[in-house]
Amino acid sequence: RKEVEQDPGPFNVPEGATVAFNCTYSNSASQSFFWYRQDCRKEPKLLMSVYSSGNEDGRFTAQLNRASQYISLLIRDSKLSDSATYLCVVNNFNKFYFGSGTKLNVKP
C-alpha cells in the first residue's frame, strides 16, 4: 500500500468553480502535512501547510482528519492560473512522502 494516495484526475472545471481534492495516508503516526503545487516541468512549490484545526489562505482551504487519515484541499472561485498538479505531502519522522498528484485544468 502506498504511503500517500491521491486521485490523479484530471479535474476539468470552468473558471469560478469550486473544486475539492482528497488525499489519504497510511501511517497514523504521521507528523505534518502539506499541499504543494507543481506546474508542468517545474519544481513543486509550497501551497500551504495543513493543521489539525484546518486552515485557510484566501481561496484555498485545507483540512486534516487524523481519525480517518485524510487531507483535503478546497479551491474556491477557480482561476485559469490555478491549473497545475496538486501534490499531497506527509512527513513521517523526517521521511517525506508525496502523492502522485491530482491534475487540475481550469477552463475559460
Partner 1 sequence: ETGVTQSPTHLIKTRGQQVTLRCSSQSGHNTVSWYQQALGQGPQFIFQYYREEENGRGNFPPRFSGLQFPNYSSELNVNALELDDSALYLCASSAPGLDSQETQYFGPGTRLLVL
- Binding interface with partner 1 (CB under 8 A): 4, 6, 31-32, 34, 42-46, 49, 87, 91, 93-101
Relative to beta strand 11-14, strand 102-107 is parallel
Give the nearest distance from C-beta 48 to partner 1 in angstroms: 10
Residue 50 Cα to chain centre, angstroms: 9
Q: Do 59 and 77 meet the contact criterion of CB atoms below 8 Å apart?
A: yes
**Dihedral over alpha carbons 24, 30, 35, 40 (to 10 degrees):** -80
Give Cβ neighbours of residue 59 (< 8 Å, ≥ 6 apart).
75, 76, 77, 79
Identity of the residue, 8 or 16, whose beta carbon is nearer to partner 1 in the bound complex: 8
Q: Record the cell numbers describing residue 1, joined without a space.
A: 500500500
Identity of the residue, 41 or 67, whose beta carbon is nearer to partner 1 in the bound complex: 41
Give the nearest distance from C-beta 16 to partner 1 in angstroms: 28
Give the nearest distance from C-beta 14 to partner 1 in angstroms: 25
Identity of the residue, 19 or 89, whose beta carbon is nearer to partner 1 in the bound complex: 89
Give the nearest distance from C-beta 100 to partner 1 in angstroms: 4
Identity of the residue, 18 or 32, whose beta carbon is nearer to partner 1 in the bound complex: 32
